[in-house]
Structure 1
Amino acid sequence: MKLSRWMTALALLTSFSALAQPRTTPEPRSAPNPAVRTLRVEGKGEAKAEPDEAWVDLAVETVGNTAKAAGEENARKMERVIAALTGAGIPRKEIDTRNYSVYPEYAQPAPNAEPKLRGYRANNTVSVHVRELPRLGDLIDRAIASGANRVDGVRFALSKQDAVYAEALRQAVERGRKTAEVLAASLGVRLGGVLEVSTVSEPPHVYPARMAMMEAGDKSAPTTPILPEEQTVQAQVTLIYAIEGTR
């Protein structure tokens, strides 16, 4: 009985002690800032430049009764092509294998007949990096005279694309800014600072080379003319401006 009374008294004392403890009042939260009004515009820029380097894809195709024969003949001819190019001043490191294949060829079978093996075809394609564009036509002629029997294409490029891209980007920003100014004036608001900007770059537009092939065996034939097209670099920007109020 005494123990029960003692426990009751202890419980009451604990309750009074808890009530007596000071309570901390949470600080009021600051009111959220009003949403900032924005204006989002896009601008595009474009810059052109003459290419100063090119890659030409030269191929040697050979056929043989066996895969070994076709491959060996192909190797001999390609070695002559590479020797002609390096002899003309192209560093060996600027010549890379782009594709190599050896595969069987079958004669067109008669109806309900088994396909008949006709032989094997070997193909070796190299990509040649040319830094002196005026020599491009002469190099192609040398390769053909040495055994190359296919020119798969010529690709032009800019070795210093950063400067051209910078001009395209400058134009894109300028056009985006002017668009924002026109919109702000039309809406009767004041244009604030730029809150966000993002860019999108595009690779140069590559145009096929215009070329006229001459007969390789005709020593009096002029050099194959190669007419490179201008390279076009584009840039796009997205600008987000703050709107500061009415004008």
Structure 2
Amino acid sequence: MALRKMDNTPVEAPMANPPQSQMINKDHESFTKKILMVLMAVVLVYLTLFLGTLMRNNLKKYRFIGQAEQMERTFAVNGVGKVTGKNDVAETTIGFSNTDKDVAKAQETNRKVMDPLLKELKSLGIGENDLQSNYTIYPEYDYTPERGQQLRGFRVTNNIIVKIRDLTKVTAVLALPSKFGANEVSGLNFTIDDTENLRNDARLEALADAKSKARQLAENLGVVLGEVVSYSEYEATAYPYSMNQMTFAKEGVGGGGPTEIATGSREVNMGVTVVYKIYSNQSW
């Protein structure tokens, strides 16, 4: 039964509270709107920065239209270095060559000469790594119009390249051909076994020469010398100085070898090219 006031007007019933699900939906919609507004603000900021950078770059391009691009200012100088070192190694070749119609006999004859000679070289302190043999066998022919080509025999040649590190043994080595009957002897050459230290010293001289030239050139041009931009080097041809003097006994090599030897020296030359950056006095 409906309630009525004393004047018989109906009394309104109190309104019921809204359901909880409706309140949650409203809160979710409000949070989503806030997130969207933040994202839009972030995008707007990045878009503003992008447009600003693009405009600045376009302005820079416009500023340099019709102007040449500024080139890096450099100059290059060359330097040379030369170091002389004393020769410390000698090389010579000793061998024996013979022929026989029987190739086995030719080999045996050759071995009788070269085997004891090789043994004597080792007894003088010449190491295995400093001995290199060149052994060949080939037929030799005679030719006549009547008989045509006729086999004369087989030539056996055994040459040994000898590297002498102890230069006091040079005379003894050169005396061996006459002692054992070797019939092939080459000239004697002197050189430096390891030139790396000489190259390093020559390189330092070349760099010092280049730097001195660069400083003088910068002073003459009225500019400031900057850092090194590039560097290159090359080794110039080094001419070894062979023995300057070599005197033999009256009977030649067969009489016991040379009595006086000058080993000489060798030059090592290095060249460098250095490119320096330079600055004007105002911009430095």
What amino acid sits opposite 2:173 in the alignment?
Answer: L
SS at match of 1:205: coil
Q: Which residue of 1 aligns with 2:225?
A: 191
Q: Which residue of 2 aligns with 1:75?
A: 111
Q: Distance in 2 between matches of 1:151 and 1:202?
A: 32
Q: Specify which structure has the higher proportion of strand.
A: 1
Range with greater deviation from structure 2 (171-180 or 85-94): 85-94
Q: Which has the higher contact order (CA 8 A, sep 6+)?
A: 1
TM-aligned CA deviation for residue 91 of structure 1: 3.1
Question: Which consecutive residues of structure 2, in runs of 5 or more, have no partner in the other structure?
Answer: 1-39
What amino acid sits opposite 1:101 in the alignment?
Answer: T
User: How has the CA–CA distance of structure 1 residues 165 and 217 changed in structure 2, closer, same or farther, with 3 Å as cutoff?
Assistant: closer
Counterpart of 2:265 (choices 219, 222, 230) is: 230
User: Is contact 2:174–2:253 with CA below 8 Å preserved after alignment?
Assistant: no
Deviations 1:205-240 (A, max 9, x none): 33444545553543xx56443322211111111101
Counterpart of 1:132 (choices 156, 166, 174) is: 166
Counterpart of 2:200 (choices 166, 169, 182) is: 166
Q: Distance in 2 between matches of 1:226 and 1:67?
A: 40
Q: Which residue of 2 aligns with 1:13?
A: none
Q: Superposed, which structure 2 residues align to 1:1-247 within 5 Å?
A: 24=47, 25=50, 27-28=53-54, 34-97=70-133, 99-107=134-142, 109-110=143-144, 114-202=148-236, 204-209=238-243, 211-214=246-249, 215-218=252-255, 223-246=258-281
Q: Distance in 2 between matches of 1:106 and 1:146?
A: 28
SS at match of 1:44: strand
Q: Specify which structure has the higher proportion of helix.
A: 2
Deviations 1:44-67 (A, max 9, x none): 111111111222222221222233
User: Is contact 1:168–1:234 with CA below 8 Å preserved after alignment?
Assistant: yes
Deviations 1:142-165 (A, max 9, x none): 244223222223332324423222
User: How has the CA–CA distance of structure 1 residues 144 and 232 changed in structure 2, closer, same or farther, with 3 Å as cutoff?
Assistant: farther
Q: Distance in 2 between matches of 1:112 and 1:167?
A: 69
Deviations 1:173-214 (A, max 9, x none): 122223223333333322222222222235743344454555
User: Is contact 1:204–1:232 with CA below 8 Å preserved after alignment?
Assistant: yes
SS at match of 1:90: coil
What amino acid sits opposite 1:244 in the alignment?
Answer: Y
What amino acid sits opposite 2:127 in the alignment?
Answer: P
Q: Distance in 1 between matches of 2:267 and 2:146?
A: 55
TM-aligned CA deviation for residue 118 of structure 1: 2.0
User: How has the CA–CA distance of structure 1 residues 243 and 93 changed in structure 2, closer, same or farther, with 3 Å as cutoff?
Assistant: closer
Range with greater deviation from structure 2 (222-231 or 209-218): 209-218
Q: Distance in 2 between matches of 1:232 and 1:124?
A: 34
What TM-score, normalized by structure 1, do the two folds share?
0.76
Q: Distance in 2 between matches of 1:72 and 1:202?
A: 48
What amino acid sits opposite 1:58 in the alignment?
Answer: I
User: Is contact 1:138–1:224 with CA below 8 Å preserved after alignment?
Assistant: no
Q: Distance in 2 between matches of 1:211 and 1:223?
A: 6
Larger radius of gyration: 2
Query: What do you get for the CA RMSD once the two structures are aligned?
Result: 3.1
What amino acid sits opposite 1:199 in the alignment?
Answer: E
Range with greater deviation from structure 2 (153-162 or 228-237): 153-162
